[in-house]
Amino acid sequence: MDQPVIQPDAHDNTLFSSEASAVLRKLQSSVIDLLFGAGLDDARSTQVGRALGLDKTLAWKVTRFARETDPLGAARHLPGSAGFKIFLDAAETFGAPTDRIRTVSKAQDDFRRFVEDQAGDLRTYEAMLVGSRRDSKSDLEQRRSYYQSAAAIWGVRVSSQFLMLALCPTKRDDGMLDVVQASGFVRLERLKPDTPWIVRRLLTTTDDGGERLNFVREPLEPAGATSLGTLPLLREFCSDPLPQIHQFEGTDGVIYDEVLPGPLGPGGAVTVVSGELYRAALPSIRSDENQIGRYKLAVRTPAKYVLLDMLIHRELEHFGPMSMSIAGLLEGRPTSTALSNAENSEPARQLGSPPVLKTARLPEYEHVIARALTLAGRTPDEFCGYRAAIEYPTAPCEIALTCEIR
């Protein structure tokens, strides 16, 4: 007998968000009333501090909490229990109305009880509030905080990571595709000594996750790998001196390239840009095993900005419009062939034909791609483009661009 599929109840998220906001607003309202009763409702934080005898940090928290319009912002400026007690004792000494002091005290108890029952602690409450609201600004703040913590823990961070894949028919016209690949880590910084960092893994599979496809790999710049292992660097876009790269094959059969340890901080930052041509790497024609084109970038490095571009040759009219999705990799969850229809997918940004590749976050990017295509015997005018980009992605994650092969 088939087991029923249990779907998450979206109503639960809505209910939590509503109750969490309501109990916080009640506390916030009581603090506003108390300040009003003390004649301090329009006062700046410094004035509140002087009037009540509070230190400047606590006075700033109280006034910011009272005036913050966003529930999450209010929660982040909420004084702790000890701070609230100091505030209420000072308000009582100042001569604020007793009934309003009692109202704040009760509202604070109600809020703390809600947090303890529903979340366990204030930090978890904030995270649940963010998750239930799906607010893009709050989500960005959470990802930025995660990036900072991850960089400190792992001892490495990067300003930008990018991958461009350009699909074009082979010269032999045999139903296969050549792929031009350019990828890079821009300003990779080590924050801990003796920290090597893997910057590339290469593994190609069929739709169903089967065995790797065999194809010829050629460096776009033949001299790019000289005395640096076999990672095909595009030397003019790498940092000077060139980054030291070590290549090895793991027990899983994957080829790894890693940047060797080096100087710490911004002064020791390195930029690694590489490019290859994969000949007859992918099938072009739709078949039972080739109905979905899925092109992925795994993000494992704490990064401020990550970009994935797909350039599709104009002759490949049977490649449908692309959608983008982002999936976390902490669970090691396998990728579904239905990923293009997943709830978290959305239309990818269209770059036009020829594609407009310029981006302020990566000033050299347009030149990198133009150079890579030139070395492969192609020009940007032959392609249309799609883009997926995200600030502070939560590594490890996978960014994918997906289309139907019709």
Q: Specify the higher pLDDT residue, 11 or 105.
A: 105
Q: Are residues 174 and 38 in the same domain?
A: no
The domain boundary residue, chosen from 134, 163, 185? 134
Q: Are residues 196 and 268 in the same domain?
A: yes
Does 358 fall in a domain? yes
Query: For residue 378, what pLDDT is reported?
Result: 92
Q: Decide if 15 is inside a domain.
A: yes
The phi, psi pair for 203, rounded to 5°, reads: -155, 130
State which of 111, 134, 157 marks the end of a domain. 134
Q: What pLDDT shows up at residue 228? A: 43
**How far is the C-alpha of 237 from the C-alpha of 180, rounded, in Å?**
17
pLDDT in tens, 73-88: 778 788 888 988 999 9
Summarize the confidence of residues 11-19 as an average pLDDT.
56
Distance CA 240, CA 189 (A): 14
303 and 229 within one domain: yes
Mean pLDDT of the 255-266 span: 86
| Same domain? 391 vs 310 | yes
CA dist 146 and 150 (Å) reads: 6
Angle at 79 between CA 75 and CA 83, to 5 degrees: 165
Average pLDDT estimate for 156-179 = 87
Same domain, 253 and 221: yes
Average pLDDT over residues 248-259: 79
296 pLDDT exceeds 50? Answer: yes
Asked if residue 1 is part of any domain, the answer here is no
Query: Are 248 and 122 in the same domain?
Result: no
Residue 2 covered by a domain: no
State the residue for tokens 């911004």. 266
Mean pLDDT for the chain?
A: 81
Residue 121 included in any domain: yes
Backbone angles phi, psi at 156, to 5 degrees: -155, 150
Q: Are residues 124 and 146 in the same domain?
A: no
Number of domains in the chain: 2
| pLDDT tens digits along 186-227 | 999 999 888 888 888 776 444 455 544 566 778 888 765 544
Q: Which domain holds residue 357?
A: 142-404
pLDDT band (50, 70, 90) for residue 2: very low
- Residue 152: what pLDDT? 92
Is a pLDDT exceeding 80 seen at residue 240? yes
Q: Are residues 152 and 115 in the same domain?
A: no
Write the CATH number for 367: 2.60.40
**215, 258: one domain:** yes
The answer, yes or no, to whether residue 308 has pLDDT greater than 90, is: yes
Q: Classify residue 51: in a domain, yes or no.
A: yes
Residue 263: CB atoms within 10 A of its CB come to 12
Closest by CA position to 323, among listed 400, 384, 245, 235: 400
Last residue of one domain, picked from the residues 83, 113, 134: 134
Residues 76 and 203 in one domain: no
Structure letter (DSSP) for residue 287 = B
**pLDDT at res. 207:** 47
Decide if 393 is inside a domain.
yes
pLDDT at 205: 46
Residue 4: inside a domain, yes or no? no
Whether 208 and 246 share a structural domain: yes
d(CA 211, CA 71): 50
C-alpha distance from residue 320 to each of 268, 316, 346, 392, 405 (Å): 43, 9, 14, 29, 6
Q: How confident is the model at residue 292 (pLDDT cuts 50, 70, 90)?
A: confident
Q: Are residues 111 and 235 in the same domain?
A: no
Picking from 124-133, 244-253, 377-386, which range would have the lowest pLDDT averaged per residue?
Answer: 124-133
